[in-house]
Amino acid sequence: MSIKFVEVDDAWRLADYDEEGVETGAVLARIPYEFIKRLNPRGDCYYPEPHVFCTFEGIGGTPLQKLVVYRIIKVGNSESFIPASDLESAKQLYEKWKRIHAPGRGHEKMT
């Protein structure tokens, strides 16, 4: 996602990728170890990626304990993730991003 810092609001907002001063951002969620009940590292025939089975005791009945917006900074051939905002800002940006990229708008649902 594209994000931009607004000094007047002292907060990050979603931005169009071609705006001046935008940065690449990502909302990352943390799942506490105690919420994880089982792992399937091989996945299944439909989704051959690892599956993580959790209890839903976190934010809003999800397995998530914390949401953080990170700035993605390219350093040589690698990327560094730097925290950009607190939980409430991260949730607001993520909710706006979900509404824009909702299924039925030409984008696949995030899993």
List, for residues 14-62, the tens digit of each pLDDT value. Answer: 888 888 888 888 888 889 999 999 999 999 999 999 999 999 998 888 8
Does the pLDDT of residue 97 top 60, yes or no? yes
Q: Which percentage of the chain shows pLDDT scores above 90?
A: 23
Please state the φ and ψ torsions of residue 71, each to the nearest 5 degrees. Answer: -85, 135
Each domain of the chain, given as residue ranges in start order, spans 2-100
pLDDT score recorded for residue 14:
82
Q: How far apart are CA 73 and CA 16, in angstroms?
A: 18
Global model pTM greater than 0.95 = no
- 60 backbone φψ class: left, alpha, beta (φ>0; ψ -120 to 50): left
Whole-angstrom CA distances from 58 to 23, 54, 100 are: 29, 10, 24
Place of tokens 């040589």: 76
Mode of pairing for the β-strands spanning 2-6 and 11-14:
antiparallel
